[in-house]
Structure 1
Amino acid sequence: ALLMGVVVIGQNGNKGGFTTENLDRSANACQDFYQFATGGWQKANPVPGAFGRWGSFNILAEHNRDALRTILDAAEKNPKAARGSNEQKIGDFYASCMSEAQIEAAGMQPIMPELKAIDKIKDLRSLQAEVARLHSYGVGAMFGFGSLQDAKNSKMVIAVAVQGGLGLPDRDFYTDDSDKMKETRAEYVKHMTNMFQLMGEDAAKAAADANTVMMIETKLARASMTNVEQRDPIKTYNKMTIAQLRELNKNLWWESYFADIKQPGITELNVMQPDFFRALDKELTATSLDDWKTYLRWQLLTTYAPTLSSKFDTENFNFFSKYLNGTKEQLPRWRRCVAATDGSIGEALGEVYVQKNFTPDAKQRMQTMVRNLIAALRDDLQTIQWMGDETRQQALTKLDAIAQKIGYPDRWRNYTALKIDRKSYAGNTMQANVFEFNRQLNEINKEVDRGQWIMTPPTVNAYYQPLRNEIVFPAGILQPPFFDFSADDALNYGAIGAVIGHEMTHGFDDRGRQYDAEGNLRVWWTPDDLKNYQARATCVENQFSGFKVEEGLFQKGKLVLGESIADLGGLKIAYRAFQKSLEGKPRPKDIDGFTPEQRFFLGWAQVWATNYRAEAARQQALTDSHPLSRFRVNGPLSNLPEFAQAYQCKDGDPMVRPTTDRCEIW
């Protein structure tokens, strides 16, 4: 996925087409192209108080939220909406979230039944039964459970168990001994103490409970894979039978868990991180039941805090948004409620959204560009020198098999089983979580439904799914100014074209290359070709490891490798497709002194225009597989001779890497 979307829009009201307002003319394009291309935008677009970072993704996402609000306001006020209809459900969900007086009056009552259930835990069996119940409510206590395609039999869905149970964003927040991480852990304990006090505990008990949770979460973190290790699909494929599960875990009774989640027919499970579950197994008896009950109370509370009364919601915001991300203030209530509705019943909302905000013309033009990009990548695969014919043929077969999804699903999700009313925001959220948990579980041991989407239609993003070998572009990203009928091909190929190329290249990045045309995890590279590929990938990794975020913190080259390969490959492919689109046509005119080739690269750079608070930049560098925007622009462009030629950059300029240091894969 792109994570951050790719659009060019400013608070000055510019809605698309080519503009020089985003530029910083005082900067040198060959010294720092990101500053040259986006410096004007950065100056005009400071980070608003409710955000940790502010970029083109955020602006278009907020624009989409405005459109969704119009839909939800109408649904909320429609007395004729049939009971059980999607319109009734989205209207009632939104209304329950907007009913602040009702939420305040309820306090923590919505989670009281589950808190009482936790209090009744009396042995290991009832502890695990409660964990199963919490999982159905979307609470990731101890570990995560769900379903995914079987990576070695991609036509089928298999049950999966994954490491989890942490309150902080990543295992390294518990294990890193830097001064900043020590401070963060101390602040987290303070936050938990405050939350336990809001539940009614006295100061001493609240502090003790917070330390208990920290102790348990730290043990789970130390047993967890790093975010880099989790990128390895071989390490995270460990399919086990019931007999093997019994051998792996003596205290975690999987057959009882399967019965508790009403899936007794599960006979095999992909345990993605076996070492984590070995450690958890020991902790089930090494840690007292009372401590586990404290931990479960915390997991429930922190999950549902945003849906409870303002004292819980505000304290949750103060730590996770204000402290960790540097955010100064909460988003307006309606914006949070729109996002919550989209997150819980997004396809019900998305069906109305696309009727009002997506045109067949946009889909048709997008399909044309996808075809052009596939043709460009096919030409590349047929001619690259470092790949042998055997691997080349497999790669071409995979390319030809890539499925394309544009705009919205052909078949919408059926929400008949989901009951929503206006009585309780937290209650509706619980019901939506139970619906989604059961939907996933009901797919286990069945053939994959390839019509499903991971993202909702209003989402400003795109993704490649290696197990399905598909590229997906939701309607939310396919609109002006990002995908703009009024803009010339140079900008569109530099923006949406490079994104199409980015998603296609994910099929051949360091993870995607391990899956074949049908989405199965298998070795289809010859040893020599694999060695050549890995050497080229290491070049990209080393480059990005050298990008400094702040004093003492650099990008993690291994973590951002897949996205960086996709950016580099996507740009090269899009540029070739753009050049091919010019064949047989009059050369496009210069605009404001910029050639078509220069505008192509401006299109790429300006879609990543972003301002960061220091806290948000730090957290992205620590936990995110996507590099910071400056490096997403300057990193790949400094490897492209086409860029240097377009801007007449010379050897020795920072934006021109020496031939010996230049990275090239596709």
Structure 2
Amino acid sequence: MLRLSTALALGTLATPAFVAAEPTPAAPATGARYGSFGLDLTTQEKTIKPGDDFWTYANGGWDKRTQIAADRTSAGYAVVLVDEAEANVRKILDDAAANPAVVGAGAKQFGDLYASFMDEAAIDKAGAAPLAPYFARIDAATDRAKLQALFATPGYASPVEIGQLPNPSDPSKYTVGTGQGSLGMGGRDYYLETGPKYDAFRTAYRAYVERMLTLSGLTDASARADRIIALETAMAKVQWSPVQSRDLMAMLKPMTAAQRTALAPEFDWPLLLQTSGYGDFPVVIMSNSTALTGLGKIFAATPVSTWQDWMKFRFAVAAAPMLPKTFDAATFDFYGKTLSDQPSQRARWKRGIAMVNGTMGEAIGEIYVKRHYPPESEAKMGELITNLRAAYKDRIAANSWMDEKTKTAALAKLAAFDPRVGHPVKYIDYTSLQVVRGDPLGNAIRAGEFQHRLDLSRLKAPVDRTLWDMTPQTVNAYYDPLANQITFPAAILQAPYFDPKADAAINYGAIGAIIGHEMGHGFDDQGSLFGPSGKFENWWTPAAKTAFKARTGALSQQYDAYEPIPGVHVKGALTLGENIGDLGGVETAYAAYQKYQQTHGKAPVIDGLTGDQRFFLSYAQAWQSKVREGALRTRLLTDPHSPPFYRVNGIVRNVDAWYAAFGVKPGDKLYLAPADRVHIW
């Protein structure tokens, strides 16, 4: 199902290779978490020239001494904060187990949810029996009508997905949309790419499918696995690529009942929509249109028994964490070890926390905010956002390539930005969610049904702009173009991204660039298709759009050249929106930092670093990350975010102020002539 929200997806001085400013007395220690002023200078590798490789100059020391934990696919500041959030949530769960009445609303529910997941002995004793009632429902789907009714039921896989979203034509109201479903192995490229590496992935996946079918008690698992692989490969061939799915003009296609039938007559659209709870919507957004046509043909040509086998396999995969260790280990061996190069599975309690966060996240979040989000953070974030909004306003107004009519529209959209910080103004009420201690799989299914009922209950009412797509304990941020909102959960508002006690340059270089990034999504190649209210509309003149595409095309070409893994390049078209967000975020955060100095005074030199140098080092350290090759490959094939290394080096080489701050000259490896630097916002 189409989702439009864009998440961030988080990664002693030697003789400098630049000319320092006139020294001034160092600022006193601030009590910041990192270093004396918020920056950890031990992470640097100062044998590297900033102009040759700025990421390594800022992070090379850390990179040399840091190993990725065996239960992780990456390491970096984001992982540190996620670990801290996990520990804080675990304390909430422990307190709930000891005295739920003291912890607060929902404590017994999420305590029972967690305890059920953690009782491995009981899960192992139950064996595959918990699958039986769900497999029985699949067995009862003996014709195509019954199959489609099950496709539309929460908890069961489907070749097409159906859901609700704000209506792009009127985002104050909800509408219904459908699009291509997911594939078992992940992105379609795993099925279609050629070469020994991908052959090995497909061989391992085939063995995994057979293993899961065998564990589930199905006979003739080998033949069933062959049919499932053939089915998914056929589906992959007709599905849209991640790049194609970024084309919103092609994705947001509203269709009447007659048009839906003409597009994919093999599907019973009234049945699918009615079973999902959306039957009375006369117009539905049909995303991945040609894929739906192809999937319809595949649906009709594939025996019902093969679809039943596929649904059982996909159900067992989703249920694996709630099933005996044999299921869980087989699933980790493929998705963790084989695809992502992760040596060890995460501890059970950590996976339990992820499960609880995904099931009753706002109940946990309400307690998390009370314990871990100080009012001081909210006040300082307010000033940051005010300065960033003002900086964007100045930069749009001074834009040399945009005509006045389009500037006026852009400024109207900027004025309508709605920033949400820390936590929702109200939290989800989980009272009606039935949690049964000792029934982890049933709890998971009932949680999915609860969320579906909650969504349907909102369908006929105006869109509630106070709802959040992330919990407060999530280390991330996002922009929603259909609401023109930027959202920053409490858990990301911590050092090194944000530290109320740190030097201002550090906060502007880290969280400032992150805020600027999310605001920039409102003006990226996708977000720029939505107006101030979130309506899908054109506010550009043809001339301005042509100039915009010329600049974004040049940025896309820069990223196409980057090759993190031999033979696997960054996809400039796939990552364009995030790269625009990064570039606009850095340039605007830098301008906002200059505004801060106009109010608070010129930044001093600290430990030999000017304010501008601290700003850019903070930005680079915010993307301090290293990733296992398998996980990196998955990101390159499917993720619209560039790898962290290029979110630094690929961006700063386009920023004029970075050249001045570090004395970058022609001949330096990252140097771009002024005419070749991309400036958008």
Q: 1:541 aligns with which of 550, 556, 563?
A: 556
Deviation of 1:238 after TM superposition, in Å, equals 1.4
Name the SS for the 2:284 alignment partner.
strand
Q: Does 1:484 align with 2:489?
A: no
Q: Within 5 Å, which residues of 2 pair with 1:248-397?
A: 248-397=263-412
Q: 1:52 aligns with which of 64, 73, 89?
A: 73
What 5-or-longer segments of structure 2 have no aligned partner? 1-5, 12-32
Q: Within 5 Å, which residues of 2 pair with 1:38-437?
A: 38-78=59-99, 80=101, 85-133=105-153, 136-137=154-155, 139-201=156-218, 205-437=220-452
Deviation sequence 1:421-446 (CA, Å, 0-9, x none):
21211111111111112222333343
Q: What does residue 470 of structure 2 align with?
A: 455
Name the SS for the 1:604 alignment partner.
helix
Deviation of 1:584 after TM superposition, in Å, equals 5.4
Name the SS for the 1:145 alignment partner.
strand
Deviation sequence 1:196-215 (CA, Å, 0-9, x none):
1212345xx21211111111
Deviation of 1:328 after TM superposition, in Å, equals 0.5
Q: Does 1:37 align with 2:74?
A: no
Q: Within 5 Å, which residues of 2 pair with 1:456-475?
A: 456-475=471-490
Name the SS for the 1:21 alignment partner.
helix
Q: 2:167 & 2:237 partners in 1: Cα distance? A: 27
Q: 1:585 & 1:655 partners in 2: Cα distance? A: 33
Q: 1:318 & 1:407 partners in 2: Cα distance? A: 37
Deviation sequence 1:134-169 (CA, Å, 0-9, x none):
xx12x3321211111111221111111120141021
Q: 2:263 & 2:558 partners in 1: Cα distance? A: 40
Q: What does residue 598 of structure 2 align with?
A: 583
Deviation of 1:463 after TM superposition, in Å, equals 0.7
Q: 1:310 & 1:531 partners in 2: Cα distance? A: 56
Name the SS for the 2:536 alignment partner.
coil
Q: 1:421 & 1:619 partners in 2: Cα distance? A: 36
Q: 2:540 & 2:571 partners in 1: Cα distance? A: 26
Contact kept, 8 Å, 1:146 with 1:437, in 2: the verdict is: no
Please say which of residues 580-589 and 563-572 is displaced more in the overlay. 580-589
Q: What does residue 592 of structure 1 align with?
A: 607
Name the SS for the 1:147 alignment partner.
strand
- Could you say if the C-alpha distance between residues 549 and 247 of structure 1 is closer, same or farther in structure 2, counting changes exceeding 3 Å? same
Q: 1:2 & 1:45 partners in 2: Cα distance? A: 26
Deviation sequence 1:205-261 (CA, Å, 0-9, x none):
212111111111112111111101111111111112223223333331122223323
Q: What does residue 9 of structure 1 align with?
A: none
Deviation sequence 1:506-535 (CA, Å, 0-9, x none):
100010111111111111100000000000
Contact kept, 8 Å, 1:57 with 1:460, in 2: the verdict is: yes
Q: 2:532 aligns with which of 509, 517, 521?
A: 517
**Equivalent position amino acid for 1:59 in 2:** V
Q: 2:278 & 2:612 partners in 1: Cα distance? A: 57
Q: 1:295 & 1:578 partners in 2: Cα distance? A: 54
Contact kept, 8 Å, 2:112 with 2:436, in 1: the verdict is: yes
Q: 2:626 aligns with which of 611, 615, 630?
A: 611
Q: Does 1:561 align with 2:576?
A: yes
Name the SS for the 1:442 alignment partner.
helix
Q: 1:338 & 1:574 partners in 2: Cα distance? A: 34
Contact kept, 8 Å, 2:100 with 2:107, in 1: the verdict is: no
Contact kept, 8 Å, 1:5 with 1:477, in 2: the verdict is: no
Runs of 4+ displaced beyond 6 Å:
none
Q: 2:366 & 2:422 partners in 1: Cα distance? A: 11
Q: What does residue 20 of structure 2 align with?
A: none
Deviation of 1:79 after TM superposition, in Å, equals 5.9
Q: 2:239 & 2:611 partners in 1: Cα distance? A: 49
What 5-or-longer segments of structure 1 have no aligned partner? 7-12
Q: What does residue 624 of structure 1 align with?
A: 639
Q: 1:58 & 1:385 partners in 2: Cα distance? A: 40
Name the SS for the 1:28 alignment partner.
coil
Deviation of 1:586 after TM superposition, in Å, equals 4.1
Contact kept, 8 Å, 2:117 with 2:352, in 1: the verdict is: yes
Contact kept, 8 Å, 1:24 with 1:38, in 2: the verdict is: yes
Q: 2:648 & 2:152 partners in 1: Cα distance? A: 44
**Equivalent position amino acid for 2:259 in 1:** Q
**Equivalent position amino acid for 1:550 in 2:** I
Q: 1:101 & 1:417 partners in 2: Cα distance? A: 28
User: RMSD in angstroms over aligned alpha carbons?
Assistant: 1.7
Contact kept, 8 Å, 2:166 with 2:173, in 1: the verdict is: yes
- Could you say if the C-alpha distance between residues 532 and 449 of structure 1 is closer, same or farther in structure 2, counting changes exceeding 3 Å? same
**Equivalent position amino acid for 1:43 in 2:** K
Q: State the identity as a percent.
A: 35
- Could you say if the C-alpha distance between residues 79 and 365 of structure 1 is closer, same or farther in structure 2, counting changes exceeding 3 Å? closer
Q: What does residue 19 of structure 1 align with?
A: 40
**Equivalent position amino acid for 2:522 in 1:** G
Q: 1:564 & 1:79 partners in 2: Cα distance? A: 45
Q: Does 1:28 align with 2:43?
A: no
Q: 1:256 & 1:363 partners in 2: Cα distance? A: 48
Deviation of 1:176 after TM superposition, in Å, equals 1.7
Deviation of 1:179 after TM superposition, in Å, equals 2.8
Q: 1:598 & 1:468 partners in 2: Cα distance? A: 36
**Equivalent position amino acid for 2:136 in 1:** K
Please say which of residues 34-43 and 534-543 is displaced more in the overlay. 34-43
Please say which of residues 621-630 and 431-440 is displaced more in the overlay. 431-440
Deviation of 1:28 after TM superposition, in Å, equals 1.4
Name the SS for the 2:194 alignment partner.
coil
- Could you say if the C-alpha distance between residues 49 and 14 of structure 1 is closer, same or farther in structure 2, counting changes exceeding 3 Å? farther
Q: 2:434 & 2:587 partners in 1: Cα distance? A: 49
Deviation of 1:14 after TM superposition, in Å, equals 4.8
Give the length in aligned residue pairs. 654
**Equivalent position amino acid for 2:445 in 1:** M
Name the SS for the 2:572 alignment partner.
coil
Deviation of 1:5 after TM superposition, in Å, equals 3.2
